[in-house]
Structure 1
Amino acid sequence: MEAPVNTPKKKRFHLNRSQSEAVQAYAFLLPAAIIVLVFFVAAIVFALYMSFNKVNMYSETYEFRGLQNYTNIFSDGIALTALKNTALFSLVVVPTQTFFALLIAYALSNKNIRFKKMFRLIYFLPTLTSSAALTLIFMFIFNINGPINGFFTGIGLYKDPINFLQEPQYALKVIMVMNIWSTVPNFMTVYLASLVDLPDSLYEAAEMDGASSWQKLVHITVPYLRPITTYVLLMGIIGTFQMFDQAYIFSNGSGGPDNSTLTVALMVYQYAFGQMNTMGYACALAIFLAVVIYIVSRLAEKLNGGNGLKDM
């Protein structure tokens, strides 16, 4: 009788609890990581590559040009106009929307105000409206035959109606007003959420010292909300420097009248998808805009008491 042959048993690979949880976590993160790598990281790297080339999208050819696309930005009068419009837009809109958002949030956080929930709802309604719809509404309001001209001519402020939409000195200002009106409610909500955690004892101590409402706002509320203000400033700078849809709808994609509503983001669109077939130059403009946004954001953070450019 033959002796039974002992076959070695296969070792099974077992994961402990922490390793099993780590595998599950990475499995859940994998779809998002793939999307980020393909549509963000790979897209940025490819745009950076195209910015150093003269790209012909019709023949799919690439001709290396080095830094020529970037140097052309500073000699391109239209690009400098777009950059000036974008900087002016951000310089006016960001501080204004931050100031009014903080002021309204401070007023609505007061316990003595009645119907606070109703006011919060009314103020928040513009945020729920799409940017395209808001642009069309404001184009109607500021039309030469619109309510604004009708009101001011009716009270005798001026005799002839002003063509706000076609006059270069007014067109960008109309978009500024619209942007401020539509973004203040969003940042007001951010401030309100932060004011909930502000201790009432600080206000009570200030009242005992005879501080007015304005003094409490300046010396208690504003310093307490400094980190939130930094966030609001950064989001405002990024949003205003990337402003595209409002200028596109307002000018029908032309940046007019007389390039007064032309922004860098709109110009990138024109060069990338227009008739000029200059995708490489458009990518250079986009990279340049990203660098400008980063520098301006860090400067704003520094001015508000953050680290600013130290971590660059």
Structure 2
Amino acid sequence: MKRMSTKRMWREAGASYLFLSPTLFVLLLFIIGPILFAIFLAFHKVQLLGTTSFEFVGLDNFKRMADDTRAKIALWNTLKYVVIVVPCQTILALVLAATLNAGLKGQKFFRIVYFLPTLTSSAVLTLIFMWMYNQNGLINHVLKAVGLPTYNWIGDPDVALNAIMIMNIWATAPYFMVIYLAALQDIPDSLYEAAELDGANAWQKFWHITVPYLRPVTSFVVVMGLIGTFQLFDQSYIFSGGSGGPNNSTLTVVLLIYQYAFKTLGTMGYAAALAFALAILIFIVTLLQRKLSKEESLY
């Protein structure tokens, strides 16, 4: 009986892995394989055009980052973007979700309207905002009409990155709003009823019931926001025509990786090292966020 049981167990395990094999193959070929190859490239000087060559350079690609001025600028721009966009989009998403969940008239219509930016292609959305940000575009016309100063949103180094931030906060908050809306449906009404009996107002109920109850969801939203903002590329590329300008003001780490990988000869290995360093940075920041949020204490 024991031998039959063991044979049956192996047979079931073999059948399971057989069904999993297509997924495992795709995972190895398109995810794990490229990651391992990128790590390999990070320790080599790579020449892909003409005669392909790989010269082992050890940690030289990583040491080069300390003397790379553009890498420091890109890191600073990326960190500034993350620090501003992630809190703003999280707070805006929570406020929008709480407002739509309050039972306002026409809330289904507003849910659709708010979610529309998420359905739009990132490239198309960026082109629309570039038209709006034009010196003679919609935003400057509105600012001029109300007596406020206009800006050269795309050409001014002091404003260009802020323009991308505004666009992304507006475009990404609705996606996280839907996540918050789903979570708000699970909060028991009895908690709010008990708070009303104790004399709590709307703000007190929101701050002492809604916000703590949504802490695990907020942790997820922040983590997803961190990963997405650290990887900012397409908007910066379209806004600057791939240069990261004006004056490197919209240069991000991922855009710099692209430039070194595909615009400069012989720097593919250095680009891979930058990508590897960015992945480590995202991993560390995510761990710190989860530690600070104390998510585990809620379960």
**C-alpha separation between the residues in 1 aligned to 2:24 and 2:247?**
44
Shift of 1:260: 0.5
The CA RMSD over aligned residues, in Å, is 1.9
In the other structure, the counterpart of 1:98 is 90
Instruction: Within 5 Å, give how 1:114-263 maps onto structure 2.
Output: 114-158=105-149, 161-263=150-252
Letter in 1 for 2:97: A
Offset, 1:21: 5.4
Secondary structure of 2:295's match?
coil
Q: Deviations over 1:55-101 (max 9, x none)?
A: 11122111111111111112100000000000000000000000011
Write the distance in 2 (CA, Å) between the matches of 1:202 and 1:18: 49
Structure label with greater radius of gyration: 1
Deviation at 1:155, TM superposition (A): 2.3
Which residue pairs with 1:8 in the alignment? Answer: none
The CA distance in 1 between the partners of 2:288 and 2:138, in whole Å, is 40
CA contact (8 A) 2:45 2:266 kept: no
**Within 2, Cα distance between the matches of 1:74 and 1:306?**
35
Unaligned runs of at least 5 residues, structure 1: 1-12
Match among 270, 274, 277 for residue 263 of structure 2: 274
For residues 16 and 164 of structure 2, the distance between their equivalents in structure 1, rounded to whole angstroms, comes to: 45
Aligned AA for 1:36? L
Does residue 68 of structure 2 align to residue 79 of structure 1? no
For residues 112 and 20 of structure 2, the distance between their equivalents in structure 1, rounded to whole angstroms, comes to 36
Q: Does 1:107 align with 2:99?
A: yes
SS class of match (1:157): coil
Among candidates 37, 43, 54, match of residue 45 of structure 2: 54
Deviates more, 1:292-301 or 1:13-22: 13-22
Sort the Cα spacing of 1:177 and 1:45 in 2 relative to 1 into closer, same or farther, 3 A: same
Q: Is the aligned partner of 1:284 residue 2:273?
A: yes
Give the gaps of 5 or more residues in structure 2: none
CA distance, structure 2, for counterparts of residue 135 and residue 68 of structure 1: 37
**What residue is the counterpart of 1:265 in the other structure?**
254
Could you tell me how far 1:107 is from its partner in structure 2? Answer: 1.3
Aligned to 2:16: 25
Letter aligned with residue 218 of structure 2: T
Offset of residue 189 of structure 1: 0.3
Write the letter of the residue equivalent to 1:257.
P
Stretches (4+) displaced over 2 A: 13-28
Normalising by structure 2, we get a TM-score of 0.93
Deviation of 1:154 after TM superposition, in Å, equals 2.2
| Residues in 2 aligned to 1:54 and 1:243: alpha-carbon distance in whole angstroms | 26
Deviations 1:241-279 (A, max 9, x none): 001111111111110000000000001111111133310
Code of the aligned partner of 1:146: G
Asked if the contact 2:47–2:265 (Cα under 8 Å) also holds between the matched residues in 1, the reply is no
Match of 1:7 in 2: none
Identical positions, percent: 52
Q: How far, CA to CA, are the matches of 1:307 and 1:55 in structure 2?
A: 44
The aligned residue for residue 5 of structure 1 is: none
TM-superposed CA distance for 1:19, in Å, is 6.1
Aligned partner of 1:84: which letter?
W
Letter in 2 for 1:104: L
- Secondary structure of residue in 1 paired with 2:294: coil
- Give the AA of the match of 1:118: F
TM-score, normalised to structure 1, is 0.90
SS at 2:248 equivalent: coil
The secondary structure found in structure 2 opposite 1:55 is strand
In structure 1, the partner of 2:283 is 294
Q: Does 1:35 align with 2:47?
A: no
